[in-house]
Amino acid sequence: MLLALLALAALLYARDLGTPSLEFDEGVYLSSADLLARGLSAGQDVFTSQPPLFFTLLDAGNDLVGGDAAGLRALAVLLALAATLAGWAIVRRIAGPAPALAATGLLALTPGLVDAAAVVSADVPSVAFGAGALVTARAARARPAWGAAAGVLLVCAVATKLLALPFGVALLAGAVADRPPRAALAWFAAGAAVAIGALLAISFGALGPLYDGVIAFHLKARDAPAIAASDPLSIVVLVVVAYAGIVAVLGFGLARLRRPDLLLWLRARADLAGLLAGGVLLCAIQRPLLHHHLVVVAWPLALLAASTLPARPDRRTWSLAAAGAALALPLALHGRWTVPEEERARLAEVATLVRAHTVPTDAVVSDLPLVGLLAQRPSALATVDPSYVRVSTGSLNPAAILRAADAAGAAVVGRSFREVPGLQAAIARRFARTEEVGGVVVYLRR
């Protein structure tokens, strides 16, 4: 039954792997992977808005699949399945086989997994590492040496994305509620120290740029004016309804508990409750907040909901829980948001134009990362991440864009660069020819 549910999760996660994701950051990371494959280094050469392990994994995965974007999405799905399997293992230990299977099924419908598992980004991979840390930390209570794995995996989670910081809160809450052996704590500290040392050794030459991209950039983003377009209403509605369904399942499970049992319930799930509380707090202060960041809330919420269901099936409770889970079904059926066909055709036309008027070594300055990828041209280093947030914070300023344009074979303006007064006119003066395709302006030298 577990294998069948994992297969169902894989089917839901992995649809349309060959189609670009609507999430803008995926194009940024794919462009970054292309530059890393050309021998450049993260941080020193390529702007990095995530901790170093993510780009190490991105580069290694890109090599493994030969630079194929669909292959990278498939690898991301494998990490999402690992997080799902970890959730099954945690709930099985807490509540038994039946609720564990329910957790597997619920995770297959959960926002942040079903709609983001196949996105090339750092969110789900960081949660996968954090999930492994929770599983091994629980195993360390019986066999302390597992604590080393928990320490390594926690560091890997945070070194993939700072979104995983609440997993540290989760491990602390679990240790307070159910004190592990001292040997397990020693193993944990040793594993974490080794992982931190390895990361520092790997990224020592780029610590300054990494700090600027991972810490300073995000602190500036909190005070920057919000100029990015919000998620489409259809995304918001389906995500909200899906969360309502998971909360309903949790409510149905808690309703059957007597008040004296609630403290025991919470103690057995202290790590998941700590993760949920830490995730909610992090998302409350996160700016800008995108719905896929909420995966750090959705994953423990789904496990708490499933773990509260009875170990022995009760027809009424299971029926109510199934009704709640059904609210998440529309999002699961929709799956990942992909670039619409009309937009893909427009980007392909722009890419064809760029490719026809440049040579393979020409860099492209663009605020639409997919154009360079489709044209098989490297992104200009300065504009590998041309997001609204970078432009609005000054992390990517007009002078840097224009310096990159001076050396580029082509420039493309269709998104954030439009928001910079005078930038398009300055770019136009540097190129001999201007073309427009569906609102996207292309500047060409030849």
Those residues whose C-beta lies under 8 Å from the C-beta of residue 80, and which sit 6 or more positions away, are: 9, 13, 113, 117, 118, 124, 128
Nearest-angstrom CA–CA distance, 20 and 382: 23
Residue whose pair of structure tokens reads 């999405």 in the numeric block: 73
Which one-letter DSSP state was computed for residue 111?
T
pLDDT in tens, the chain (446 residues): 899 999 999 999 999 899 999 999 999 999 999 999 999 998 888 999 999 999 999 999 999 999 999 999 999 999 999 999 999 999 999 999 999 999 999 999 999 999 999 999 999 999 999 999 999 999 999 999 999 999 999 999 999 999 999 999 999 999 999 899 999 999 999 999 999 999 998 888 788 888 888 888 877 777 766 544 456 777 889 999 999 999 999 998 888 887 767 888 899 999 999 999 999 999 998 877 778 889 999 999 999 999 999 888 778 877 888 899 999 999 999 999 999 999 999 999 999 999 999 999 999 999 999 999 999 999 999 999 999 989 988 889 999 999 999 999 999 999 999 989 999 999 999 999 999 999 999 999 87
Evaluate whether 386 touches 416 at the Cβ level (below 8 Å): yes
pLDDT at 176: 94
Beta bridge partners of 46: 42
For residue 86 the two structure tokens come to: 């970890």
Reduced to 3 states (helix: H, G, I; strand: E, B; else coil), residue 248 is helix
For residue 259 the two structure tokens come to: 């008040």
Radius of gyration of the chain (CA): 23
Nearest-angstrom CA–CA distance, 191 and 179: 19
Beta bridge partners of 441: 413, 436
Those residues whose C-beta lies under 8 Å from the C-beta of residue 316, and which sit 6 or more positions away, are: none
Buried b or exposed e, range 319-354, using 16+ CB within 10 angstroms: ebbeebbebbeebbeebbbbbeeeeeebbebbbebb
Nearest-angstrom CA–CA distance, 319 and 253: 11
For residue 360 the two structure tokens come to: 């393979």
The total of other beta-carbon atoms located within 10 Å of residue 400's CB is 16
Nearest-angstrom CA–CA distance, 50 and 30: 14
Beta bridge partners of 21: 338
pLDDT digits (tens, 9 = 90+) for 403-444: 999 999 999 999 999 989 999 999 999 999 999 999 999 999
pLDDT at 231: 61
pLDDT digits (tens, 9 = 90+) for 8-47: 999 999 998 999 999 999 999 999 999 999 999 988 889 9
pLDDT at 253: 86
- Give the side-chain half-sphere CA count within 13 A for 172: 10
Nearest-angstrom CA–CA distance, 124 and 238: 19
Residue 44: C-alpha distances to residues 33, 39, 48, 204 (Å): 14, 12, 9, 10
Q: What is the pTM of this model?
A: 0.93
What is the chain's percent helix, strand, coil content, to nearest 5? 70, 5, 25
